[in-house]
Amino acid sequence: MMDRRWLIPAAAGLILLAAGCGSASSGGGNQTVQIPANAQTVHVDATDFKWTLDKTTLQAGVPVDFIVKSDEGAHGFSIAGTNISQLVVQGQPAQHVLWQDPKPGTYTILCDYFCGSGHSQMQATITVK
């Protein structure tokens, strides 16, 4: 008979990996992402249940280099309506997340990695003009 005790831990690991890790629209994290010279830079700090951005208004059509780090815990940096998703963990180096061609509009930054009781309130807004 086959030993199936490994199935549940393996499945749980895959679910956690899929939920917390991801990539930006043109690559993810520091994984060989080439940041264009004309990219707008936005520094993003994650703390318990809050995103802090040094810029919230961006220029449409110009790439954005989000430099994302966590000051408390683990969080998933994501932008609603895009395929951007990047896990950031306290104590690890900041992650470069490239948004290649932002379109005009208002976007919500969410945490897509469950981080605790205030997880659902962890949101920020950015405007692309």
Q: What is the CATH number of the domain that holds 21?
A: 2.60.40.420
Using CA atoms, how far apart are residues 102 and 35, in angstroms rounded to an integer?
14
Q: Which domain holds residue 79?
A: 7-128
14 part of a folded domain: yes
User: 79 φ, ψ to 5°?
Assistant: -120, 120
Instruction: Name the pTM for this structure.
Output: 0.75
* Average confidence score pLDDT of the chain: 83
Output the pLDDT for position 27.
38
Q: Is residue 11 part of a domain?
A: yes
Please state, as a whole number, how many other Cβ atoms lie within 10 Å of the Cβ of residue 64.
25
How many whole angstroms separate alpha carbon 53 and alpha carbon 45?
7
22-47 pLDDT, tens digit per residue, is: 334 333 444 567 999 999 999 999 99
Q: How many structural domains does the chain have?
A: 1
How sure is the predictor about 3, in pLDDT bands with cuts at 50, 70 and 90? Answer: low
**Domain for residue 2, yes or no?**
no
In a domain, 100, yes or no: yes
- Would you say residue 1 lies in a domain? no
